[in-house]
Amino acid sequence: MNTISLLKKPFGGKTGATIVLSTFLLTACAMAPETPPAALEVREKLTELQRNPEMARNARIELRDAEAAVELAEQPLDNDETALSDHRVYMADRMVEIARATGTTRQMEVERERMGEQRDAARLAARTREADAARADADSARSSEVAAAAMSAKEAEEMQRQIDELEAEATERGLVLTLGDVLFATGSAELQGGSNRNLEKLVDFLNKYPEKGVLIEGHTDNIGSAQFNQNLSLQRAESVRRYLIDHGVQSRRLNVSGLGLERPVASNESATGRQQNRRVEVIIEN
């Protein structure tokens, strides 16, 4: 007996008709198409991507296309359209994965570009620091040069002052300080007692400039034999050398030479000339 026959057949009045109608509606609802469960899973994946700000920014068009594909996959189909439903779900899932891949790739490109900018900024900062350091070094070098020049000028001025006090003569051989025969008694190589201001100034100068070497030369007039004068000139040079050593000048800096009567600076025909020839010369190297 079909449903229409039941409706036509008496069934206890209105109550029976109501029961038959309800049964029919329930059966129709039970047989209505539903959204495929797989489509719901794809919807969850899509929603996760849509909630990600970076994905929403980097894959805007792809997410829009995925949304359309998922909506299509969610549409209910009859039981005999299972293949079409599966195809729609598959395509929707692919569209979601395409959106995910596109968003990830573009985000990586953004990160790579950002890292490149940071690297360029770091290189620029490094070059700036190097340039600043170079300028600082140059400024420091110039300051040092100026200070050194000022110091050199001051030292040169001080040296010249002491040279003037020594009354030394600048020559190609060096500074020449002439010590007259008043240091010695006639025919003697022993220094006269008491202080000699020229020798004291010489000691001060040599102790202030310890890098300078010294040659001490003895000279005589022509009174007496050449051998006598040779020995006397050497002995007088040695006496000056001992004096300098006793007053703190290192012996390795001092050399002596006796030249006798070989290098007169004046004529031996007069007493004045002979007195000028009886001398000890101290040559301070340049």
Q: Within a domain: residue 225?
A: yes
Tell me what pLDDT residue 199 has: 87
Report whether pLDDT(32) > 70. Answer: no
203 located within any domain? yes
- 275 and 207, same structural domain? yes
Looking at the structure, do residues 221 and 242 belong to the same domain, yes or no?
A: yes
Shared domain for 40 and 150, answered yes or no, is yes
Please report, for the domain that includes residue 213, its CATH number: 3.30.1330.60
Is there a single domain that holds both residue 190 and residue 279? yes
Q: What is the mean pLDDT of residues 144-151?
A: 77
- Considering the domain boundaries, does residue 3 fall inside one? no
The count of structural domains within the chain is 2
Last residue of a domain, one of 155, 185, 200: 155
> Domain for residue 258, yes or no?
yes
CA distance 60 to 58: 6
User: Do 132 and 182 sit in the same domain of this protein?
Assistant: no
Does residue 252 share a domain with residue 184? yes
Choose one of 96, 128, 155: the last residue of a domain.
155
Tell me, yes or no, whether 191 lies in a domain: yes
Question: Mean pLDDT over all residues of the chain?
Answer: 84
Alpha-carbon gap, residue 57 to 234, rounded angstroms: 104
**187 and 270 both lie in a single domain:** yes
Higher pLDDT residue, 136 or 1? 136
Distance CA 79, CA 82 (A): 6
In a domain, 17, yes or no: no
Out of 7-11, 202-206, 215-219, 280-284, least confident range? 7-11
Q: For residue 8, is pLDDT > 90?
A: no
User: What six digits make up the tokens of 47?
Assistant: 């929603």
How deeply is 256 buried, as exposed, middle or buried, from its count of CB atoms within 10 A (0-12, 13-18, 19+)?
Answer: buried
Q: 32: which 2 tokens?
A: 């209505």
CA distance 225 to 260: 10
Residue 262 shares a structural domain with residue 198: yes
For residue 65, name the pLDDT band (cuts at 50, 70, 90): very high
Residue 15, pLDDT > 70, answer no
142: confidence class by pLDDT, cuts 50, 70, 90? confident
pLDDT at site 22? 52
60 and 137 fall within a common domain: yes
* Per-range mean pLDDT, top range of 19-23, 90-94, 143-147, 185-189: 90-94
Same domain for 279 and 171, yes or no, is: yes
Structural domain harbouring 192: 167-284
- Contact of 58 with 106, CB cutoff 8 Å: yes
In tens, the pLDDT along 217-246 reads 999 989 889 999 999 999 999 999 999 999
Residue 23 in any domain: the answer is: no
Helix (H) or strand (E) holding 171: strand 169-171
* Residues in CB range of 250: below 8 A, 6 or more apart: 210
Whether 118 and 184 map to the same domain: the answer is: no
Q: What is the pTM of this model?
A: 0.48
Question: Are residues 120 and 92 part of one domain?
Answer: yes
Last residue of a domain, one of 126, 155, 184: 155
Residue 200: inside a domain: yes
